[in-house]
Amino acid sequence: MRRLFILFIALFLITGVSFSQKREPGKVKTLVIDPGHGGDKPGALGKHSKEKELTLAIAKKFGKLVQDNYPDVKVIFTRTTDVDVTLSERANIANRAKADLFVSIHCNSHPTTTPTGMETYVMGLSRSRANMEVAKKENADILLEDGYKNNKDYQGFDPNSPESYVMFAMYQNAYIDKSLNFAQYAQEQYKSAIKTVNRGVKQAEFFVIYKTAMPAVLTEVGFISNPAEEAFMMSEEGQATIAVCLLNAFANYKAHEEATAKPVKMQVDLPGYGKNKDTKKAVTDSSANATQKQDDALATAILESKGEEAPKAHVEAPASSRKENLSGTVQINQEEAELQVTVQKDQTIVEGVTFRVQFLTSEKEIPTGAKDFKGVSGYQVYQQDGLYRYTMGNETTIAKAKNIQSELRKKGFQDAFVIAFYNGKRISLQEARELQEQQ
């Protein structure tokens, strides 16, 4: 408790000094861009790249776009070459410049190649173990710094100590609302321009944004551990697309803060930008079913992480009909030598996390009984991005949903894959897993 009290007093003194700095209210005139890692701190490692390389390339493109479109905005980089800058110094650079916004750019990673998507963090106490793990990973650079224990800026902070994170819980971010605004703008841009998982706006205890006395975010622009996303982030087109997303987010944020109109047309002069007009396909691999494959692989990975095995459909020999209760009825009739799948249609919104199996997608609504369904009835349908998506089941576990998936694939829907919902709203499987871990 004595150490915790000392941390609290130190925190009060540090933040008190930081908040006393003056800046012109309502104006966004100084932007600090922070390319994550650098020098002896490579960050996450992909198969063909390092996080420190990708973040620097994207940061430079983002900075160039802001300078091209906003000559009145001063852009400051925490680094412009492959050098080591401590986490405390990154924050100090922004504080000394009296910056109006701090954007730290990073790449996500995972032990498996399955997870994908983009997310943006603001300062706050983690509400899930997954968010905490991301924060620990980014904060771990502190441990690589010489003499970090004697660095007065860290005040004894240990990235692996639960006690240290209590200090973050005491901290009240005076700029949380503005930080959330920019984070939301960034995620909206990612969602509209890049076909990948929108992992949303989250809160976690990142030291680099905790020490900044201004609106600040840390954005994870993709998974370097995912081959498709690594290739996208390594490409000129991918880097340019991400940079443009951040430019538009900045433009929306600046317009909101200053109560002015966003420029009608933004100047974008970057190699590779616009090469593929349909940037929504840029992250995916050559398969038209890449998203289905990623979700399917993630569902299996989640099961394996729990020590479970995806159930496989098993058809017994009796000639008479056999029924199994999945989310309704699966009827197997050997005499017809055909699998009949029927699930009770449920139009009500089921609370909590549920899992369904998406087996059919169409630009137009398919009439009931059409041959496209191959005899399947009792399905559910929802609309997203202008498409009709047909699903089966409403399960509380991925294992049960995988059972339905297996039956549907036997029926001929080889691309059927598991999806997740929360209170009736579609979410990613990763988000579903995090929500279930909180329960």
| Residue pLDDT, tens place only, 395-424 | 888 888 889 988 898 888 887 888 888 888
> For 126-174, what is each residue's pLDDT tens digit?
444 444 454 445 545 444 445 555 555 545 555 455 444 444 444 435 6
* Max Cα-Cα span within the chain: 82
Of residues 80 and 87, more confidence is placed in: 80
CB 226 within 8 A of CB 297: no
285 three-state secondary structure: coil
Say yes or no to pLDDT of 25 above 60: no
For residues 411 and 413, what is the distance between their CA atoms, to the nearest angstrom? Answer: 6
Distance of CA 26 to the CA centre of its chain: 30
For residues 375 and 338, what is the distance between their CA atoms, to the nearest angstrom? Answer: 10
> What CATH class is the domain 2-281?
alpha beta
CA distances, 19 to each of 153, 213, 410 (Å): 16, 6, 63
The crossing angle, in degrees rounded to 10, of helices 162-170 and 2-19 is 40
Please name which of 366, 350, 355 lies closest in space to residue 429, comparing C-alpha atoms.
355
For residues 72 and 90, what is the distance between their CA atoms, to the nearest angstrom? Answer: 23
Please name which of 134, 108, 141 lies closest in space to residue 232, comparing C-alpha atoms.
108
* DSSP code at position 145: S
The CA angle 190-196-197, to the nearest 5 degrees, is 90
**So what's the pLDDT on residue 69?**
96
One-letter amino acid for residue 154 of the chain: Y
Say yes or no to pLDDT of 75 above 90: yes
Element at 241 (helix H, strand E): helix 236-258
**So what's the pLDDT on residue 319?**
31
Residue 6 structure tokens:
């000392």
What is the pLDDT averaged over residues 61-69? 97
CB 206 within 8 A of CB 121: yes
**So what's the pLDDT on residue 147?**
55
The CA angle 215-217-218, to the nearest 5 degrees, is 160
Contacts of 319 (CB under 8 A, 6+ apart): 334, 335
Read off the pTM: 0.56
**So what's the pLDDT on residue 202?**
86
Span(s) in the chain for CATH 3.40.630.40? 2-281
302 pLDDT tier (thresholds 50, 70, 90) = low
> For 321-337, what is each residue's pLDDT tens digit?
333 333 333 332 332 22
**So what's the pLDDT on residue 70?**
96
Residue 69 structure tokens:
């479109």
CA distances, 124 to each of 157, 203, 310, 406, 435 (Å): 16, 5, 36, 41, 17
The HSE-up count of residue 178 (CA atoms within 13 Å, CB side) is: 22
- What percent of the chain clears pLDDT 90, i.e. is strictly above it? 32
